[in-house]
Structure 1
């Protein structure tokens, strides 16, 4: 691998990107949940992803971003969703549901660019805050999000039955 950064465009996903979204989502599930959470179906992206991503393209409450090498090859993605205010939490929240960057591209600040674009979308959509979840054992992801301005808000504890 070269020390030169890769030329990558961060943009909204299009219909032609669905295959790349599924591939990156599959890699995320295999690398992250597949090694940390036996309760997650790692086949979900291949089985349900195409329909889920396609339905999100036109949904104003969902964001699908891709990192594209400039030739249409998707090397990363971020998906987000908006949660409307409620009586209990009277602020609109934008949640990053999934993010992945192929390992060869991880030192090129692509993840940071995806998060920056997510924040812009959240603000333009009227969100008062942004949030993301990460597995507690995924210390690299947690450090990445902390470097990008996120702080721990709560901890979810789980016990297998």
Structure 2
């Protein structure tokens, strides 16, 4: 999909494929919150979810790959809407960077890619959520220009 400027010619962001799913799930499970939510030993629900995501043109599950190793992932969702004068927005979810790559600048470049892709898709707003306990992530997003503007709510079903 794209070489990230300044990241070297071997770093590529591309659409995820089904064979990436185990590595993506491993990234999702590689922190205290993810370890409680994810079950990497059972790939079936993840593969079914991947098929739903892959079939939806408003979903962009992407991976960052360096030297044939998957080192990051995020999901970008394009949401058409009526509010804000009919503005389309994007939502960035499930951002994960491999532990060995954290602090390398990859996360910043990855989010910059998502913002640029949102602009390319005609979005007028980019939003994301972050668990209240992830204070380091909050500082990271604020450094990139995001503002903590809303209070989020969830209802488990």
Common topology (TM > 0.5): yes
Give yes or no for the alignment of 1:147 onto 2:148.
no
Q: TM-score, normalised by structure 1?
A: 0.76
Poorly superposed stretches of 4+, deviation over 6 Å: none
Q: Which runs of 5+ in 1 are unaligned?
A: 36-40
The answer to whether the 8 A contact 1:96-1:130 is kept is: yes
Give yes or no for the alignment of 1:136 onto 2:137.
no
Shift in Å at residue 23 of structure 1? 1.9
Change (3 A) 1:53 1:89: farther
2: distance between equivalents of 1:58 and 1:117?
22
Q: Secondary structure at the match of 1:18?
A: helix
Q: TM-score, normalised by structure 2?
A: 0.78
Give yes or no for the alignment of 1:65 onto 2:62.
yes
Kindly report the root-mean-square deviation, in angstroms, between the aligned alpha carbons of the 2 structures.
2.8
1: distance between equivalents of 2:115 and 2:66?
22
Residue 33 of structure 2 corresponds to 32
User: Pairwise mapping of residues 7-156 of structure 1 onto structure 2 (< 5 A)?
Assistant: 8-27=11-30, 30-32=31-33, 41-43=37-39, 46-71=43-68, 73-87=69-83, 90-156=86-152
Higher strand share: 2
Between stretches 89-98 and 144-153, larger displacement belongs to 89-98
